[in-house]
Each structure stands twice: as structure tokens, then as C-alpha cells.
Amino acid sequence: MKLNAFVVFVAFLALGLSGCSQKTVVLHPGDVDRPVTAGLSITDFEKAANEAVQSMLLSGAVDPVNGKKNILVISNILNDTMQRIDTDQLVKKIRIALLQSGKVKTTTAMGLNGPEDKMNQAYGQLSRSQKINKSTLKKQSWTAPNMSLSGKILQRNNRVDSGAQLIDYYFQLTLTDLGDGLAIWEGETPIQKLTSSKTVSW
């Protein structure tokens, strides 16, 4: 009898704990009650990308010349943080915004590590296939980029008073004219987070 009572108690305890657990909810951009993390979040990447794009557009660095749109290639975006992050989270947002501005096109046919879209290269091999109707093939003529985007994401942790730590993140970006190798735009977005010294950011 005592055993049955113990089992019932444990069952009620489990139900009570599960009732107090965090429910899964869908978050939306702009929500004022979005959780804040010590590490980099989608909100941080959105802020850095938006500031970079607005600065580039306002500077006139990406304005078309004689009606001709600029062709952008992505160079290396270094991750100098304590976190394993995909720098394409930042790059993709920047590319989307620049494409939507109507002033820039981005090439996926070339890059430091080969073509971003591997189909660019594979398409050139289709002429060797006996299964392909050669009259349907388009002659490839890739457009060379005239500007390159490179950058770095840095993290610096510092202890402050009252057992807290200040985490500084820096999104640094450079736009280079590939014709003369000169930087035509540079921008930096700092993001600071104050948290407990016991909090880890990776």
C-alpha cells in the first residue's frame, strides 16, 4: 500500500514539474520580448547586416556607374570569436539587401574556394554528355566581379565589477575595388553584452 502511494506521489510530482517547464513558442523579428543571449544571435546578425547595408548605400560606394550595376564577390569573412558560427548568416543577409536595392549583383560562379553554386561549373561539362540536346545549351560567359566584400567578426571578454563580464563583439567589413585594390567602403558594428561572469558565450 505504501509503495502504491509513493508511485502516485512521484507521478504527481512529475506532472507538476512538466507543467512549469518552458513552452515552445515561435518568435518573430521585432518582438520586444525576444530572449537575449550572451552569444551571437539572429538579432545581432540582423543588426550588423542592416547597419552595413545602410552605410554602403548612403556612402554611394555601390552606386551603378553609367547605369551599369556593380558585380560583388564574397571574399573571406573570418570568425575570430569563441563560437562556432556560420559567417554566411551575416553575408547572406547583406547580399539579399544589396540585391533588393537594385544597385548590385552578386556572382556565384567564383570565389576563393571555387564557385558558390557548383552548378556553374557542372553546366560547362554538359556538352560532353550524349543525353543533352546541345541546341538547348547556353554558352557560358561569366561576368567578372568588380568589387569584393571581406571582413572579420571579433569577440573580446572582459571582467567588470560585481562579478559580471562585458562581452564585446565587432562586425568589421571592407568593400574593395578589384580594379585598383583600394578600399571604397569600411564599416564596423559593435555589440556589447553585460552578463554574469559565470555565463559562457560559446
> Residue 13 above 60 pLDDT?
no
Query: What is the model's pTM?
Result: 0.79
Say if 131 falls within a structural domain. no
Model confidence pLDDT, tens digit, residues 86-118: 999 999 999 999 999 999 999 999 988 888 899
Assign residue 170 the CATH number of its domain: 3.40.50
Residue type, 116: E
Residue range(s) defining the domain that contains residue 98: 44-114+146-202
Say if 120 falls within a structural domain. no
Say if 22 falls within a structural domain. no
> Residue 158 above 70 pLDDT?
yes
Query: What's the CA gap between 100 and 95, in Å, rounded?
Result: 8
Model confidence pLDDT, tens digit, residues 19-78: 567 787 777 766 666 677 888 998 999 999 999 999 999 999 999 999 999 999 999 999
Q: How many domains are there within the chain?
A: 1
Say if 100 falls within a structural domain. yes
Question: Among positive and negative, which fits the CA dihedral 92, 90, 57, 180?
Answer: negative
E strand or H helix at 59: helix 42-59
Give 104 or 201, the one with higher predicted confidence.
104
Cα→Cα distances 58→53, 83, 100, 117, Å: 9, 32, 15, 30
